Amino acid sequence: MNILACTDGSQYSTSIYQHAAWAAKQLDASVHVLHMLNPHHEDPVKANYSGSMGVGARTALLNELVELEATRAKIAQKRGQAILEDAESALKAEGIDHIQADQKHGKLSDEIENYERDADLVVIGKRGNNADFEKGHLGSNLERVIRSCQHPVLVASRAFAPLNNFVLAFDGGHSAKKAVEYVANSPLLKGMHCYLLYVGAANSKIEAALADAENTLKASGFEVTIEHRDGEPEKVIAEVVADDHIDLLVMGAYGHSHIRHLIVGSTTSAMIREVKIPVLLFR
């Protein structure tokens, strides 16, 4: 078993390491810490609008750009090294022995699929360095990362708290069934109390699916409470999480197409934003 922890040195990092350490202990897994050095192609230091080309203009410009980025990249590398060292010591302090730490060039959302292949669980922070804190804005980055992952993704909240119970948001869909399947078969959430939550109008089909899910979970030794509420899924789930002091939200992610997302927005992103606890997502 292997856990991929993606860090960027933001204030979520400590929480990412703690969540990764918790998962590693539950799964008896090793942790692979990944830090991506974003390519940055920013303004030239000195804006040059002269529009003129002197002798050897191409070589001069190329050299100028390389120099500029080399300086920045060296600083970024050093900073990245410090982040990884910090990650290793944080994980060691949590009692994790098998740690591998890497920094790579590229954007996480573009490259995650290459690194995620060897992992069984991906841990990332809810927000990164570049996200806008004030607006509670998640950025499209997190969503793109999650959409690229074939394995479950644990989205770490700002601070780690001991996990004793979880809500499994169940809509009868494919990814929700996958979530039930995983929870039942994996040691990750063993021993935690499970709230099986369905939001929406009742019908016989969903009743049957809920009963199925309950049986599967109970067979694996989970204590299960079925909750059935009416209303808007996003609001109700957030209410339940807040009122019942839930520690973890488990749900299927991004079941809908890009097109639908453009029009109505994404329930998943809204959920991750709304709740203040970690979220475990299944595609």
Give dist(CA 41, CA 105) in Å, integer.
13
In the range 120-139, which residues lie near another protein by CB under 8 A? Answer: none
Among 25, 44, 191, 212, the residue binding another protein under the rule CB under 8 A is 44
Which of 28, 51, 201, 257 binds another protein (CB under 8 A)? It is 51
39 belongs to the binding site for another protein (CB under 8 A): yes
**49 interacts with another protein by CB under 8 A:** yes
Nearer to another protein, 49 or 133 (CB): 49
Is residue 69 within the footprint of another protein (CB under 8 A)?
A: yes
Cβ closest to another protein, residue 149 vs residue 250: 149
Residue with Cβ nearer another protein (39 or 191): 39
- Measured CA to CA, the distance from residue 164 to residue 278 in angstroms comes to 12
Q: Which of 52, 135, 201, 221 contacts another protein by CB under 8 A?
A: 52
Q: Measured from the CB atom, is 201 or 263 closer to another protein? A: 263
Over the window 232 to 261, marking each residue x when it contacts another protein by CB under 8 A and - when it does not, the resulting string is --------------------------x---
Residues in contact with another protein, total (CB under 8 A)?
25
Longest dimension (CA), the chain: 79
Q: Does 204 bind another protein (CB under 8 A)?
A: no
Dihedral of CA atoms 194, 17, 27, 121 in degrees, nearest 10, equals: 80
Residue closer to another protein (CB basis): 47 or 263: 47
How far is residue 279's CA from residue 186's CA, in Å, rounded to a whole number? 16
In the region spanning residues 139 to 198, those forming contacts with another protein, defined by CB under 8 A, are 140, 144
Q: Report the candidate in 1, 211, 224, 14 with the shortest Cα–Cα distance to residue 122.
A: 1
| C-beta closer to another protein: residue 44 or 191 | 44
Contact between 123 and 94 under an 8 Å Cβ cutoff? The reply is no
- Torsion angles phi and psi, residue 258, rounded to 5: -60, -40
Q: Does 263 bind another protein (CB under 8 A)?
A: no
Cα–Cα distance measured from residue 115 to residue 250, given in angstroms and rounded to the nearest whole number: 23
Give strand pairing partners of 32.
4, 100
| Contacting positions for another protein (CB under 8 A) | 39, 41, 43-44, 46-59, 61-62, 65, 69, 140, 144, 258
